[in-house]
């Protein structure tokens, strides 16, 4: 999460106050908070609502309508999993299902706050060896759910030993 400040109520208040005068201030405020903290913390909702004289439901509505906003801190590490056509033909969708069912890891879940996330990409140029994944710049071919879950565990522990193609 390098580059983002830890959530801080006072900084959030001053970011909100600095933008509250804008017409349609909700989105600029949400973007500014996400730029600062990496996410829009749920604690920001009442602050924004109060500053803009809107209901909390309206602020929640804006956050959930725009998929750019996250309400949990971004993952420290990201594993990219290819779900484009060739990898689909080689079973990546079954892999995604196994990952969720057997290991409790949901691909593209932006709200877990987990240290390591698995996110979809479309083609890593490793089509013949799909399903393909990219871990810290390293391509991994013929990946399966067990291997990905293992990588998530090792990355969360600060290394990615064993991530060889």
Query: Which one, 27 or 84, has the nearer CB to ligand FES?
Result: 84
Q: Which residues bind to ligand FES, rule: CB under 6 A?
A: 82, 84-87, 123-127, 130, 132
- According to the annotation, is 92 in a ligand binding site? no
In the complex, minimum distance from the CB of residue 96 to ligand FES, in angstroms, rounded to a whole number: 13
Cα distance between residue 18 and residue 37, in whole Å: 16
Give, in degrees to the nearest 5, the angle at Cα 13 between 7 and 16.
110
Cβ-based neighbour number of residue 78 at 10 Å: 16
Query: Which one, 93 or 115, has the nearer CB to ligand FES?
Result: 93
Please give the biggest Cα pair distance in the chain. Answer: 55
In the complex, minimum distance from the CB of residue 143 to ligand FES, in angstroms, rounded to a whole number: 10
- According to the annotation, is 152 in a ligand binding site? no
Q: Do the Cβ atoms of 92 and 130 come closer than 8 Å? A: yes
Task: Please spell the DSSP secondary structure of 6-43, one letter per residue.
Answer: PP-HHHHHHHHHHHTTSTT-HHHHHHHHHHHHSS--TT
In the complex, minimum distance from the CB of residue 81 to ligand FES, in angstroms, rounded to a whole number: 9
Query: Which one, 29 or 124, has the nearer CB to ligand FES?
Result: 124
- According to the annotation, is 87 in a ligand binding site? yes
Query: Which one, 47 or 92, has the nearer CB to ligand FES?
Result: 92
């Amino acid at each position: 999460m390098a580059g983002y400040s830890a959530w801080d109520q006072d900084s959030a208040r001053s970011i909100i106050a600095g933008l509250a005068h804008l017409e349609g201030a909700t989105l600029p405020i949400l973007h500014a908070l996400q730029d600062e903290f990496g996410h829009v913390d749920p604690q920001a909702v009442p602050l924004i609502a109060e500053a803009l004289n809107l209901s909390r439901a309206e602020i929640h509505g804006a956050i959930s309508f725009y998929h750019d906003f996250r309400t949990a801190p971004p993952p420290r590490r990201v594993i990219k999993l290819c779900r484009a056509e060739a990898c689909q033909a080689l079973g990546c969708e079954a892999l995604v299902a196994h990952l969720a069912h057997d290991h409790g890891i949901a691909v593209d879940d932006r709200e877990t706050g987990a240290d390591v996330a698995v996110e979809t990409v479309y083609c890593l140029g490793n089509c013949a060896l799909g399903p393909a994944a990219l871990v810290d710049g390293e391509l991994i071919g013929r990946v399966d759910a067990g291997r990905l879950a293992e990588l998530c565990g090792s990355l969360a522990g600060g290394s990615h030993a064993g991530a060889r193609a």
